[in-house]
Amino acid sequence: MPFEVTSTAFAQGESIPGKYTCDGEDISPPLAWGDPPQDTQSFALIADDPDAPMGTWVHWVLYNLSAEARALPKAVPPEADLPDGSRHGQNSWGRLDYGGPCPPSGTHRYFFKLYALDTVLDLASGASKEQLLQAMEGHILAQTELMGVYARQ
């Protein structure tokens, strides 16, 4: 399998099921990916909505995922530091966890961006998306993304 991020919950460009949104259980969807480049030391994930009225809304920041990982289960626990060594950054709600799609109106696009990095980041839990992007600079070996859409009923 190439280095592509996929989900059993929704396909590229398809609607994200309600259980993964603020209208449902508000749990993270399951994600899986193929083998990254050879020198990968860790993964980072950013999920955001560029269609938000006040600018891009950050739904999920997760980093220092093990280089051996090839998937995230649904409902990743809302803990700052996870048992596998990965860490949650801060989303736009100011929380250290996944916050599902919750558009105020219309259909929004949600991008789950996965980065293969040549290092384990020296970032404490709670980093912002901007801090993560800065820390990743010069360390991204590959990246892939999965885009889903959601509109509230």
Distance, CA of 100 to CA of 26 (rounded, Å): 5
pTM of the model: 0.97
Give the pLDDT confidence score for residue 101 in this predicted structure.
98
Looking up tokens 């980041």, which residue turns up? Answer: 121
pLDDT tens by residue, 75-133? 999 999 999 999 999 999 999 999 999 999 999 999 999 999 999 999 999 999 999 99
Residues 6+ apart with CB under 8 A from 149: 13, 14, 15, 16, 107, 108, 109, 110
User: How much is the average pLDDT of 25-44?
Assistant: 97
19, two tokens: 């259980």
Tell me the percentage of the chain whose pLDDT exceeds 90. 97
Give the pLDDT confidence score for residue 153 in this predicted structure.
79
Domains of the chain: 5-151 (3.90.280.10)
Q: Is the pLDDT of residue 1 over 90?
A: no
Return mean pLDDT, the chain.
Answer: 97
- Give phi and psi for 19, each to the nearest 5: -60, -20
Give the pLDDT confidence score for residue 2 in this predicted structure.
79
User: How much is the average pLDDT of 125-153?
Assistant: 97
Give the pLDDT confidence score for residue 132 in this predicted structure.
98
